[in-house]
Structure 1
Amino acid sequence: MRSRLLKIAAILLALVAALAGVLGWHLGGKQPQRSGTLELSGLQAPVQVRWDEVGVPHISAANEPDLYRSLGYLHAQDRLFQMEMVRRLARGELAEILGPKLVETDRLFRTLGIRAHADAYAARVQAAPPTPAMRALQAYLEGVNQYQATRPAPLEFEILGIPKRPFTMADTVSVAGYLAYSFAAAFRTEPALTYVRDQLGPDYLKVFELDWRPEGAVRTALGLKGGDWQDLTRLALNSQRALELAGVPQFEGSNAWALSGSRTRSGKPLLAGDPHIAFSVPAVWWEAHLQAPGFELYGHHQALNPMALLGHNRQFGWSLTMFQNDDLDLIVEKPNPDKPGEVWFQGRWVALQEREEIITVKGAAPVTLKLRRSPHGPIVNDAVPGATGSRPVAMWWAFLETENPVLEAFYALNRANSLGRARAAASQIHAPGLNVVWANADGDIGWWAAARLPKRPAGVNPSFMLDGASAESDKLGFEDFSANPQEENPARGYVVSANHQPAGALQVPGYYNLWDRAQRLDEQLRPEGQSWDMARAQALQLDVQSGFAQRLLQPLLPALRAAAAGNEQERALVERLAAWPGRHELGLNEPVLFHQFLYELTREAMADEMGEAMFDNLRRTRALDHALPRLAADAASPWWDKRGTPAVETREQIVALAWKAAIAHLRQTLGADPASWTWGRAHTLTHGHPLGLQKPLDRIFNVGPLPAPGGHELPNNMAQRLGPAPWAVVYGPSTRRVIDFARAGEAVGSNPVGQSGVWGDRHYEDQARSHVQGGYRLQVLNEPDVLAHTRSTLTLKPVD
């Protein structure tokens, strides 16, 4: 009997080993090839690719078409699944591979009109004589498609049953539309602020510092009803969930600054930047060092785009931040009561345009959409299935309404070695709005707020939804680029951009971030007599402090002390908050206590007036960040009174309720001892893969959780949403770069996860711990350094 059992065990072990071997062989065939020789059709000459220790390719080609064709092939080798997911999200085609739960996401993106716009845009471009930028894109896409056609499908394609389909110029333009949309805060902010204005009134609006218009047509002449508000709230929440369900990173903010040589130890300009984007696996950026006769660039690329959106070489470099200008208006149309399908526009009734689109759904019947468009733009509440509202809401969006040669802009920016060329390139960026922060080795620095800014009628505040039946929704043209906020070689010796509202003669409406982060950067950069170097710039990127917490806490400290008066432990906690400078380090307790209290305070003060759904929407807006310190400072604000109670509650009573709720939650969640309430325990980063949304695949494909220093709206902007502990970091530095143009060939940077999106590859997550801990690595350009860091070499050669 014992020998039989041993034989059976041996057979089972052999089967397991065989299966493991087959699986390993199968997965091994999907891994990137980084050595040897590969044939690539369309090449005119061999291309040499040298990979460094973190999987960054250094590509040397004899001409630009070969360079971009090779770039597409190699980019697809690491990121083909990412390319597939982002194009499907942008074009509303996710339900075809993920099933019915993604129908609402697809419905939203079809309603936005990105797919239709991209198809029309690509058709126009392809009918015209090709420009250098379009030839580069075509070569790149040929490389992507050649990889897809000749190599095994990624593991995710097999799991989800994704059919291979060639990538097109329309896909690239669609992805650009998704990026533009992900910047737009209007879907969350405008309904929330309009609700406060029209349902609660002027006294409630004061904390948002917005003008009250008692004649506001949406309130008095048109009147949104309960069903309309429900649809708008669902639209706002669906807009956010669409990005989360797809697992595709959303753009949120950024830091960037440039110092002239008069401010640096080397005597040459120094450039630093860290765009703030939602974290994911794979990371949003893919790095590549490109070389061809007359062209060299170390660039950061996004899926399906051959042009680097961030880059540098020995002569120049640039970084980006989000401008946060308001380039999207929600417009409430007036329907014709006698003829459905018509709205009032500029003095007459006009018919809505209609079209049908079909969403293919995995495992279910196709869904037919009937989509409408007014003269202002797509009717976006058509994205809400079973909508109960009576008012069509249109979307005017600069991305759909401008020429927007953004690919041409970045082709030029990739080659912009002079101040004039950089300015000209930035002027071609129409949407989304971006701040371009630029420097060169000749000593120039510059910043341009790049966007096509619409002219609106005087007195119109686009923070609110607009009345489509009046002139307030009209656009009177666009400002000339020369009027945009910008600076070139300022006397103070530096430029800085951190998503704050820019100063200047032209006041640009927008959804700007808290100024505390920009103020913290400016405070460190402004003092004269400092000598900046790369180490000091890195330290500023990793700074974990701002003045926001104390700005909010100071007026509340008497009420907090009163709330904690009966408990010695709680009194000590309040005094620690009072003395806390706002630092968010892993071992500190104060940030945990502060953010839990802030959430409870906001909820106690505002949820009863807004209702749960609209409150959930409001707490995702930047407008709330600005409002909370004003609310804390205003003891007479009507927000303090709780609806549904006979008494009129005071600020002190609400502070006491919030304090007790915060302490109770932390004790229940993190333990009875406040010493265990550390930021590193409560604030963690997990890089989520689209398949990681489904358990137990999260344990296979996701990376994390990792303790994360920093926090919301700090220079090290490892941001968490306003909500209860523990907190997941939702966005932050998608890369950190520092370039001193005295030795630009030795720049430093970081990647949040790794270069590769291929599960099982050694570069899938090899940078994750270093990035969250503030590590940097070299980004080399000089040939001796490239040789020293080369770990493998691949030659791409023409097909014989």
Structure 2
Amino acid sequence: MKLLKIVLKVVAVLFVLLFVGGWLFSRTLHPTYNGELKLKSLSDKVTVYFDDVGVPHINAQNQKDAYTALGYVHAQDRLWQMELIRRIAAGRLAEVFGKDLVRTDKFFSGLGIEEAAEKTISKLDKNSKSYRLAEAYLNGINQFIEEGATPLEFYLVGLEKEKYSIKDVYNVFGYMAFSFAIAHKTDPLLTEIKEKLGEEYINELLESDFKNLTLIKNQKNAEVEAEFSTAINTLIDKLPLPLFIGSNSWVVAPEKTKNGKVLFANDPHIAFSQPSVWYQNHIKTPNYEMYGFNLALTPFPLLGHNRNYAYGLTMFENDDVDFYYEQNNPNNPMEYKTPNGYKKYKLIDKTIKIKGEPDTTYQVKVSKHGPVMNGLIDFMKDERPIAMQWIFTKLENQLLDVSYEMSHALSLSDFKNGAKKLHAPGLNIMYGDAKDNIAWFASGKLYKYRDSLQTKLILDGASGKDEILEYLDFEENPQAINPDWKYVYSANNQPDSIAGKLYPGYYLPEDRAKRIVDLLEAKSDFTKEDFAEMINDVTSPVAPEISRNLLKNVNKNELTASEKKAMHVLRNWDGNYNKNEIAPVIYNRLWYEFVKNTFKDEMGAAFEQFVNTPFEEKTVANQVKKEKSVWWDDVSTLEKETKRDIVTKSFQKTIAFLQKQLGENIDDWTWERVATVEYEHPIGKAGGLLREFFNVGPFTTNGGDQVINNQIYKIDSTGYYKIHAGPSTRRIVDFSDVENSITVIPTGQSGNVFSEHYKDQAEKYNKGEFVKMKLNQSDIEKSENKLVFLPKK
């Protein structure tokens, strides 16, 4: 007994020592928000005030010093995020996470992003302001790597820190550009449907591109003159960092505001993650000021504002990726056919390092169109070589100058000159200023093919007939400057015609666009508070219409009492996605059953490439209106089904499923029981204690798919909707009171789990609340945390 007591005491002492040691070690990992630090290459003192949500307000005598400090503070909050994002395009995730990421590495490294980056960097003007400031930013990051604390994640995965270079910045640009491209999924799917099912099936699907459209209108007026200071899914699902998905933005002219000044709103939709996507920062020097939102490893903000102007973005969704069937030389598979004879493929050898495993090597064939994707994308089982032509890697990359010039513009004309340099990814760039200008530019390099060509199918690479005929001048791009209707907006929807036709793309359905236009048209005295309510709006104008189109085709003669009640709930739904609503639960399950019963029998395995895509959403909105369709018949049965058969079967299966899932009482089928959101850290995905430590949430939340407060989820057989994407920030700038402009991000400013700002905005975000974007210097200097950087001799 005495021995047992001694052993227990020893164990207790060891436990205390372990706990204290762990606590002391963790203290060394906290970000430094107070005190003094010395940095090399500073010419003067830099003072950084961290406000009450951890945003650094950087006060410097010149921009070079300011960007050096930005690099340091960005790295101390987000080094782990920086490390992962630079590895994606380079195909270096398997070094961190092991063999499960080899296929993902192989895909991304085969896209040609690194080769394009090297080509771009070789041509950069090393004396340009954008380059010198980017190097200052990288210098700050690298000094943190040398002298700052190593983030916990590096210890957990056994990873050594490495310094960063301008190539890493361009790899991030490449990953961002890929995030916007949807053709990888849609084009092979549609080609397969055409080849296996025929013209009648494919034509019905493709017609949805030109139905149910809310168009963004074009108009260019004068500036107010004033100057101022699947398989793809499987690969993507494994990514430890988010993809860009959608977005909302609207800017209202003074004539439609209560206070007579421009109001600006923007909320880019990006896959959720922890840490959050954007890093907020405020730089102020004697001749420059910008409150910006930066991606990891990007020196200049893609979203920003100051007292003079505000800008933001949504995804254009234009078609900038095309696939080509190449035709190999039957006598030499290393050659492919062109109109001028056979040409040799360029061969690129690639090596992927794998944690705990030997390296693996592979070879990429590259035609004049781009890399041959067979073997890089698993669902491309076709024996014919399929090459990917991507405008991002095909044309000159000026993204560093684009982001620099947009964040350093002195007028709307300056800003437009920066926006016009963007070649890819296609972005709707939104603008408003203190001089009463508002503008929207659909930026990206647009081009023409022959009129009869269907670019959403795989093209003929050998004949020369399916090549780009010409590139359009930027003035032909969709855009609006100070339009007569006094607002500009974008919700990733189809822009109005240019050169007499609608520009092809992978535009999202009209739901959010229609709601935005309805709300903007309804009044002419908008306030910041109105915009705050609008940006959190959860009503779909389209979902109730789809519901009613379906319900009128249900055979009502054989319905049970529960089915009749469910029908009544859905028929009277106004499209609201609040937590306590019942109708969204019924609607989403009915959507699943209807899509499965309509399309899966013909599509087979390709069905998984169709569901949970914008193309599916547009197709369903069109399909529910059709009485006659080749898709109604279930080809797996002997009978010939009608629309009524399919819809009735879908409705009855919906109610039976929900009764089993949520109980017999329909009043209990509330949205909050099936829809939740959790912001996952790459290490937290492992589950258990790591999930509890690193992840943020789960939360219930208002919102649904394709409402303004866009909470994006997959609709599948489970009946639960795990929200995986949504507004990456909500941001409102009011030029009648610019110092009290507001924002919020999903979790927190810091990616350091030991920081008080790791998740301090999460509850506010999910309640639809905001925090202030501080510009007032006296307000900023009241901050409790002040870090001073001094020149290091």
Q: TM class by shorter-chain length?
A: over 0.9
Relative distance call for 1:211 and 1:674 in structure 2 (3 A) is closer
Is the Cα–Cα contact under 8 Å of residues 561 and 574 in structure 1 kept in the other structure?
A: no
SS state of the match for residue 726, structure 2?
A: strand
Task: Name the CA distance, whole Å, in 2 between partners of 1:389 and 1:367.
Answer: 24
Moved more, 685-694 or 9-18: 9-18
Aligned twin of 2:90: 91
Q: Shift in Å at residue 166 of structure 1?
A: 1.1
Is the Cα–Cα contact under 8 Å of residues 324 and 459 in structure 2 kept in the other structure?
A: yes
1:718 and 2:711 matched: yes
Relative distance call for 1:239 and 1:211 in structure 2 (3 A) is closer
Alpha-carbon displacement from aligned partner over 1:15-56 (angstroms, at most 9, x marks no partner): 212111111111211110000101111111110000111110
Is the Cα–Cα contact under 8 Å of residues 359 and 368 in structure 1 kept in the other structure?
A: yes
TM-score between both structures, scaled by the size of structure 2: 0.95
Where do 5+ consecutive residues of structure 2 fail to align? 210-229
1:508 alignment partner AA: Y
Q: Shift in Å at residue 561 of structure 1?
A: 5.4
Task: Name the CA distance, whole Å, in 2 between partners of 1:240 and 1:374.
Answer: 25
Task: Name the CA distance, whole Å, in 1 between partners of 2:58 and 2:251.
Answer: 28
Moved more, 429-438 or 338-347: 338-347
Task: Name the CA distance, whole Å, in 2 between partners of 1:481 and 1:77.
Answer: 39
Is the Cα–Cα contact under 8 Å of residues 323 and 386 in structure 2 kept in the other structure?
A: yes
SS state of the match for residue 742, structure 1?
A: coil
1:134 and 2:128 matched: no
Task: Name the CA distance, whole Å, in 1 between partners of 2:23 and 2:322.
Answer: 52
Q: Shift in Å at residue 665 of structure 1?
A: 2.4
1:150 and 2:143 matched: no
Is the Cα–Cα contact under 8 Å of residues 270 and 741 in structure 1 kept in the other structure?
A: yes
SS state of the match for residue 341, structure 1?
A: strand
Is the Cα–Cα contact under 8 Å of residues 247 and 688 in structure 1 kept in the other structure?
A: no
Is the Cα–Cα contact under 8 Å of residues 207 and 628 in structure 1 kept in the other structure?
A: no
Identity among equivalent pairs (%)? 35
Task: Name the CA distance, whole Å, in 1 between partners of 2:434 and 2:766.
Answer: 31
Task: Name the CA distance, whole Å, in 2 between partners of 1:472 and 1:722.
Answer: 40
Aligned twin of 2:48: 49
Moved more, 649-658 or 138-147: 649-658
1:534 alignment partner AA: K
Task: Name the CA distance, whole Å, in 2 between partners of 1:80 and 1:713.
Answer: 33
Task: Name the CA distance, whole Å, in 1 between partners of 2:92 and 2:469.
Answer: 35
Task: Name the CA distance, whole Å, in 2 between partners of 1:254 and 1:387.
Answer: 30
Alpha-carbon displacement from aligned partner over 1:613-632 (angstroms, at most 9, x marks no partner): x1111113211111102211
Task: Name the CA distance, whole Å, in 2 between partners of 1:561 and 1:33.
Answer: 66
Aligned twin of 2:180: 183
Aligned twin of 1:692: 684
Note the 1:461-472 alignment, pairs <5 A.
Answer: 461-472=454-465
1:555 and 2:549 matched: yes
2:663 is aligned, of 661, 667, 671, to 671
Q: Shift in Å at residue 384 of structure 1?
A: 4.2
Aligned twin of 2:630: 638
SS state of the match for residue 431, structure 2?
A: strand
SS state of the match for residue 553, structure 2?
A: helix
Relative distance call for 1:118 and 1:787 in structure 2 (3 A) is same
Is the Cα–Cα contact under 8 Å of residues 685 and 707 in structure 1 kept in the other structure?
A: yes
Alpha-carbon displacement from aligned partner over 1:54-77 (angstroms, at most 9, x marks no partner): 110100011111011110010000
Moved more, 490-499 or 553-562: 553-562
Is the Cα–Cα contact under 8 Å of residues 208 and 618 in structure 2 kept in the other structure?
A: no
Measured on the aligned residues, the alpha-carbon RMSD in Å equals: 1.7
Aligned twin of 2:220: none
Moved more, 697-706 or 62-71: 697-706
Is the Cα–Cα contact under 8 Å of residues 598 and 631 in structure 2 kept in the other structure?
A: yes
Note the 1:717-756 alignment, pairs <5 A.
Answer: 717-724=710-717, 725-756=719-750
2:283 is aligned, of 260, 279, 290, to 290
Aligned twin of 2:766: 772
Relative distance call for 1:567 and 1:211 in structure 2 (3 A) is closer
1:545 and 2:539 matched: yes
SS state of the match for residue 377, structure 1?
A: coil
2:157 alignment partner AA: L
Relative distance call for 1:664 and 1:721 in structure 2 (3 A) is same
Note the 1:247-646 alignment, pairs <5 A.
Answer: 247-384=240-377, 389-506=382-499, 507-527=502-522, 530-560=524-554, 562=556, 565-612=558-605, 614-646=606-638
1:53 alignment partner AA: D
Task: Name the CA distance, whole Å, in 2 between partners of 1:207 and 1:781.
Answer: 53
SS state of the match for residue 531, structure 1?
A: coil
Aligned twin of 1:653: 645
Aligned twin of 1:232: none
Note the 1:85-124 alignment, pairs <5 A.
Answer: 85-124=84-123
Q: Shift in Å at residue 577 of structure 1?
A: 0.4
2:30 alignment partner AA: Q
Is the Cα–Cα contact under 8 Å of residues 369 and 389 in structure 2 kept in the other structure?
A: yes
1:784 and 2:778 matched: yes
Is the Cα–Cα contact under 8 Å of residues 374 and 381 in structure 2 kept in the other structure?
A: no
SS state of the match for residue 447, structure 2?
A: coil
Q: Shift in Å at residue 385 of structure 1?
A: 6.7
SS state of the match for residue 795, structure 1?
A: strand
Moved more, 238-247 or 543-552: 238-247
Is the Cα–Cα contact under 8 Å of residues 245 and 690 in structure 1 kept in the other structure?
A: no
Aligned twin of 1:707: 700
SS state of the match for residue 611, structure 1?
A: helix
Is the Cα–Cα contact under 8 Å of residues 92 and 115 in structure 1 kept in the other structure?
A: no
Alpha-carbon displacement from aligned partner over 1:510-547 (angstroms, at most 9, x marks no partner): 0000112101100110135x200000011111111122
SS state of the match for residue 26, structure 2?
A: helix
SS state of the match for residue 324, structure 2?
A: strand
Task: Name the CA distance, whole Å, in 1 between partners of 2:463 and 2:666.
Answer: 57
1:252 alignment partner AA: I
Is the Cα–Cα contact under 8 Å of residues 92 and 352 in structure 2 kept in the other structure?
A: yes
Task: Name the CA distance, whole Å, in 2 between partners of 1:692 and 1:392.
Answer: 39
Task: Name the CA distance, whole Å, in 1 between partners of 2:790 and 2:126.
Answer: 29
Higher helix share: 1
Is the Cα–Cα contact under 8 Å of residues 105 and 238 in structure 1 kept in the other structure?
A: no
Task: Name the CA distance, whole Å, in 2 between partners of 1:472 and 1:12.
Answer: 78
Aligned residue pair count? 769
Task: Name the CA distance, whole Å, in 2 between partners of 1:400 and 1:628.
Answer: 34
2:184 alignment partner AA: F
Alpha-carbon displacement from aligned partner over 1:568-602 (angstroms, at most 9, x marks no partner): 12101101101101110000111011001101110
2:351 alignment partner AA: I
Note the 1:28-47 alignment, pairs <5 A.
Answer: 28-47=27-46
Is the Cα–Cα contact under 8 Å of residues 93 and 105 in structure 2 kept in the other structure?
A: yes
Moved more, 505-514 or 730-739: 505-514
Task: Name the CA distance, whole Å, in 1 between partners of 2:623 and 2:197.
Answer: 15
Task: Name the CA distance, whole Å, in 2 between partners of 1:417 and 1:168.
Answer: 29
Where do 5+ consecutive residues of structure 1 fail to align? 213-236
Task: Name the CA distance, whole Å, in 2 between partners of 1:244 and 1:526.
Answer: 39
TM-score between both structures, scaled by the size of structure 1: 0.94
Q: Shift in Å at residue 667 of structure 1?
A: 2.6
1:295 alignment partner AA: Y
Task: Name the CA distance, whole Å, in 2 between partners of 1:384 and 1:276.
Answer: 26
Relative distance call for 1:84 and 1:260 in structure 2 (3 A) is same
Q: Shift in Å at residue 387 of structure 1?
A: 7.3
Q: Shift in Å at residue 556 of structure 1?
A: 1.9
Relative distance call for 1:211 and 1:677 in structure 2 (3 A) is closer
1:467 alignment partner AA: D
Relative distance call for 1:783 and 1:152 in structure 2 (3 A) is closer
2:67 alignment partner AA: Y
2:417 alignment partner AA: A
Q: Shift in Å at residue 554 of structure 1?
A: 2.2
Task: Name the CA distance, whole Å, in 2 between partners of 1:424 and 1:380.
Answer: 35
Task: Name the CA distance, whole Å, in 1 between partners of 2:527 and 2:254.
Answer: 10
Alpha-carbon displacement from aligned partner over 1:356-414 (angstroms, at most 9, x marks no partner): 11111111111111111001111112314797532111111110111120110111110
Q: Shift in Å at residue 261 of structure 1?
A: 0.7
SS state of the match for residue 509, structure 1?
A: coil
